[in-house]
Amino acid sequence: MTTLLRRRVLKSALLSALLLVSSAATAQDAVLAGYRKYYAGDRTGARQALEAVLVSNTRNLPARFGLLHILMRRADEERGVEKELEQHLDAFLADAEERHDGSNGQDFEAIFYLANGYMMRAQYRVNHDKGIWGAARDGAKAKRLIDTYIRRYPEHGDAYFTLGLYNYYVDIAPSFVRVLRLFLFLPGGNRVEGLKQIERAYSQGSLFAFPAGLILMEIYSTYEHRAADAVRVGERLFQEYPANPDVGMQLAEMYASPAIEDYGRAAAQYEGVLKRESARPSSQGPAKHSARLGLASMQQQQWRLQDAIAGLGEGIAEDPAEPVWVMPNLLLRRGNYRALMADPAAAEDARRVKSNARWKDFHKAADNQLAWLEKRRQSGEEAVYVALVPGNRLVAEKQWDQAASAYEKVRQQHPNDLQVRYRLAHLRFMRGDPAGAAGEFAVLSETKSAPAWMRAASLLYLARAHDIAGRHAQAIRIYERILDDDERESAAFSGR
């Protein structure tokens, strides 16, 4: 071969290699752009960006995994999508396994996405009741694969997300999962290391920093009792991705949580999500309906019941056919709030739910609501409740003296009513006298004729009074009693 020909061949080979590297880098940038669109709340744009990558390479694992993320979110919202997700997820794992086996275990991109694919399927199986045994096996496979990958690439921040998920959640799992490990030979977890690994994925990751942040919000608030850190992460994610409805609604949940109880900020978050999602095409998903329900809950917490009823009415007027859960939830919630205001039309919403065969899964809830309505009317609870609403609203606004005057008017008409006694004790607690309120809460918590919610809530405030006074052991015993005896009451979440 002549020197000139050798140079031409070398130049051609070098040019081909550069083109391949350039093509791979372009695809990688396009995949990252697709993920970021998804994290920014633009599912349609994300799907189009990732599908464009697959035009030139139908087996591109990063792009396909991004599409699985989008499909997984849809399956969480619409049960009819589950079968489609299962088919695509199984095909993804089969192709990644083929690449892995064909390379004798040396294709590390395949190893990385196999690990993440198995973890995704494990999460799906747990969240959708598709079998704990299969989920456990998938989780074990994900753990072994990601361990292999990290030994080769310990600097890759994204890799620590799946490892951290496994280590954290396996270690805090209920005892039956620990027993399951003995039969399936599952690797053990490590809560402390798992949390550090998820934090590393959040701070050092690229593709998975966003989902790591969402998981950290849940972990900090639910399991680690670090509400301030949960809010810090949520506010940072919201600043970066203000149009993502999941971030906005999860941050709203943080504000409304028992550790913070800032219902005004929570309502503002839900309202923002509702406005943004209402401006999107309907194909963007049911986030606006979830936000509407969340906003109504916050308005109810602030005793703005008429505002909540009006907002739910706007959603009902839209008459959304899909997802199927939306309309019955809107109707039952409005019926509940109408009942709290003694609106004679309250029963109409529950009856409307019962009359629709598509909503058969909600018929029992409608029956229960109708029975509750009748019981409240006959007992006289309804009339006293409505009379207390103006005072409750003033307490929510921290107008203590005006609230006391409003309650006193009701007390004069119903001097021994348990609801009135509870509200007066609550006012005393909220305006800064927990010790003085504790005695009444202790009595109400043991009054058999009091409704279950009132006994549980009274216990909660009694425990808080002990907590504030530094009697933590007594507080803990009462919190545990709430969890043991009143697990179905709203006070249980705060007690936990």
64-112 pLDDT, tens per residue? 999 999 999 989 888 889 999 999 999 999 999 999 999 999 999 999 9
Cα–Cα distance measured from residue 91 to residue 76, given in angstroms and rounded to the nearest whole number: 20
Domain residue ranges in the chain: 25-224, 303-379, 382-495
Percent of the chain with pLDDT over 70: 91
Cα–Cα distance measured from residue 387 to residue 243, given in angstroms and rounded to the nearest whole number: 40
Scan for tokens 């969890």, then name that residue. Answer: 483
Q: Are 34 and 49 in contact (CB under 8 A)?
A: yes
Nearest to 160 by CA among 206, 198, 214: 198
pLDDT category at 494 given cuts 50, 70, 90 is confident
Most confident of 59-63, 176-180, 258-262: 59-63
> Taking all residues of the chain, what is their mean pLDDT, rounded to a whole number?
90
Cα–Cα distance measured from residue 404 to residue 410, given in angstroms and rounded to the nearest whole number: 10
Cα–Cα distance measured from residue 222 to residue 243, given in angstroms and rounded to the nearest whole number: 25
181-203 pLDDT, tens per residue? 666 667 888 999 999 999 999 99
Asked if the model's pLDDT at residue 461 lies above 50, the reply is yes
Give the pLDDT confidence score for residue 80 in this predicted structure.
85
Q: Are 465 and 438 in contact (CB under 8 A)?
A: yes
Q: Are 332 and 353 in contact (CB under 8 A)?
A: yes
Give the pLDDT confidence score for residue 380 in this predicted structure.
84
Give the pLDDT confidence score for residue 486 in this predicted structure.
67
Mean pLDDT for 22-50 is: 84
Give the pLDDT confidence score for residue 282 in this predicted structure.
56
Q: Does domain 382-495 have CATH number 1.25.40.10?
A: yes
304-361 pLDDT, tens per residue? 999 999 999 999 999 998 889 999 999 999 999 999 999 989 999 999 999 999 999 9
153-164 pLDDT, tens per residue? 999 999 999 999
277-314 pLDDT, tens per residue? 998 865 456 899 999 999 999 999 999 999 999 999 99
Nearest to 263 by CA among 273, 271, 252: 252
Cα–Cα distance measured from residue 219 to residue 225, given in angstroms and rounded to the nearest whole number: 8
Give the pLDDT confidence score for residue 22 in this predicted structure.
36
Note the pTM of the prediction, 2 decimals.
0.85
230-252 pLDDT, tens per residue? 999 999 999 999 999 999 999 99
Check for a shared fold between 25-224 and 382-495. yes
Q: Which long-range contacts (CB under 8 A, 24 or more apart) does 34-42 make?
A: 34/63, 34/66, 35/66, 35/69, 35/207, 35/210, 38/66, 38/69, 38/70, 39/210, 39/241, 39/244, 40/241, 40/243, 40/244, 41/241, 41/243, 41/244, 41/245, 41/276, 41/284, 42/243
Give the pLDDT confidence score for residue 188 in this predicted structure.
83
pLDDT category at 488 given cuts 50, 70, 90 is low
Give the pLDDT confidence score for residue 184 in this predicted structure.
66
For 270-335, give the DSSP string: HHHHHHHHHTS-GGG-THHHHHHHHHHHHHHHTT-HHHHHHHHHHHHHH---SSTTHHHHHHHHHH
Phi, psi angles (nearest 5°) of residue 75: -65, -30
Using CA of residue 425, residue 426, residue 429, residue 431, what is the dihedral sign? negative
Scan for tokens 């015993």, then name that residue. Answer: 477
Give the pLDDT confidence score for residue 68 in this predicted structure.
96
Asked if the model's pLDDT at residue 51 lies above 60, the reply is yes
Most confident of 17-31, 300-314, 472-486: 300-314
Give the pLDDT confidence score for residue 1 in this predicted structure.
46
CATH value of 25-224 in 1.10.8, 1.25.40, 1.10.3210, 3.10.450: 1.25.40
